[in-house]
Amino acid sequence: MLHHKPHVIAALASVGLLIPACACAGDRTSGELPSEALRTRLAEHAAKGAVLFGHHDDPVYGHTWCGDAGRSDVLEATGKYPAIMSWDFGGIEKGDTVNLDGVPFSRIRREAIAHDARGGINTFSWHPFSPVADESSWEVSDTTIVRRMMTDPEVRRRFDEDIAAIADFLNSLRDAEGRDIAVIFRPWHEHTGGWFWWGTPNCTPEQYRFLWEETRRVMDDKGVDNVLWTYSPDRVSDISQYMERYPGDKYVDIMGADVYHFNGAEGTPDYIETADRTLGIAAQAAREHGKLLAFTETGCESLPITDWYTSILLPIISRHPVSYVTVWRNAHDKPSHFYTPWPGHPAEGDFRKFSEDTHTTFVNPKK
């Protein structure tokens, strides 16, 4: 049985994150920065135990379609959009017009603005090509990339330009009234793993922290103030591993983690144990540092466990004071690479139940 979490409410109140009675979610009339309103809103969801549900690239392609307007596998399965739309900037730093998964940045901007207008929230990750020689994020044979970004003036100049491209995009996010739209940005993610060139085996803690410092410096120079910053390691064993490369409280608003469910039913005990452990550690860190908590990426590829959403994910997110949870994309060109059901998939009914549970939040399409 899921329940409200008094300890969470007390914890949020103690760091000043509970909204005053008069401030509604999305209220922008008080003169506060949109990012502060977003922080308040996320805190409110964590306190209520009404976790915002997110899906990567949700309205731009799905399991059997690509590029259509007005579609979403989540909408078609549940009647509602995810509350959080997740996007990726990978490729923007090369001047590409489409990201690494083929989504035009102009479409991402349009969809992000539309999602804000329907009451949703947008989060951005970044799988960059390196400023050294355009190596993909997964190119880990060269472990000098981050060092060169730090010490080679020409590479560093290119890195600054890469960040500036993201800053320009973020600065262009305005609603119909011309107000800034606040979003979540989650750079340098999963660094406790070894698969990205900024991962633990591929750079030093000092070099990793430089990535955050430089990213923030350029964003600040460009006047970006509509962002909540998220720190999201992959699975960890203990809090010292979680904090080893933490860039510092002034760089981070939300602490989270990425943990996936591998190996179908056989992998269930491992997933539950790892997700509970890692989120427990992230929650402790968030509490100690006065930050929000999120389950920044998860999912069970292909959903071979048809009640995964209600029997596995829902209990996990109910045990930790997460403000949101995001699952990865439903690729249109890789038949087994999907994380939400679509109409006709055997997990559809269970996913609908998950979407109707009082402990999850989706958003209604605009009438």
State the residues that interact with ligand BMA by CB under 6 A: 88, 100-101, 127, 328-329
What are the E-state strand segments in 137-262? 183-186, 227-231, 254-258
Q: Which is nearer to ligand BMA, 107 or 127 (CB)?
A: 127
In contact, 285 and 255? CB cutoff 8 Å:
yes
- Give the three-state DSSP class for 261: strand
Closest by Cα among 119, 120, 85, 88 to 105: 88
Closest by Cα among 199, 272, 277, 269 to 238: 277
Give the list of residues 6+ apart from residue 268 with CB closer than 8 angstroms, or none. 261, 305, 312
Closest by Cα among 81, 86, 185, 200 to 146: 200
Closest by Cα among 361, 355, 334 to 62: 334
Q: Which is nearer to ligand BMA, 138 or 206 (CB)?
A: 138
In contact, 88 and 104? CB cutoff 8 Å:
no
CB of 137 to ligand BMA, least distance (A): 8
Ramachandran region of residue 178, left (φ > 0), alpha (ψ -120 to 50) or beta?
Answer: left
CB of 333 to ligand BMA, least distance (A): 9
Q: Which is nearer to ligand BMA, 5 or 329 (CB)?
A: 329
CB of 98 to ligand BMA, least distance (A): 12
CB atoms within 10 A of CB 44: 18
CB of 302 to ligand BMA, least distance (A): 13
CB of 329 to ligand BMA, least distance (A): 5
CB of 28 to ligand BMA, least distance (A): 31
CB of 326 to ligand BMA, least distance (A): 12
Residues forming a β-bridge with 293:
255
Residues forming a β-bridge with 81:
363
Q: Which is nearer to ligand BMA, 196 or 231 (CB)?
A: 196
In contact, 342 and 61? CB cutoff 8 Å:
no
Q: Which is nearer to ligand BMA, 287 or 329 (CB)?
A: 329
Q: Which is nearer to ligand BMA, 160 or 190 (CB)?
A: 190
CB of 338 to ligand BMA, least distance (A): 10
Separation between Cα atoms, residue 128 and residue 329, nearest integer Å: 18
Under DSSP, the state recorded for 130 is P
Ramachandran region of residue 328, left (φ > 0), alpha (ψ -120 to 50) or beta?
Answer: beta
Q: Which is nearer to ligand BMA, 231 or 328 (CB)?
A: 328
Q: Which is nearer to ligand BMA, 35 or 330 (CB)?
A: 330
Q: Which is nearer to ligand BMA, 90 or 247 (CB)?
A: 90
Under DSSP, the state recorded for 249 is G
CB of 101 to ligand BMA, least distance (A): 5
Separation between Cα atoms, residue 195 and residue 139, nearest integer Å: 8
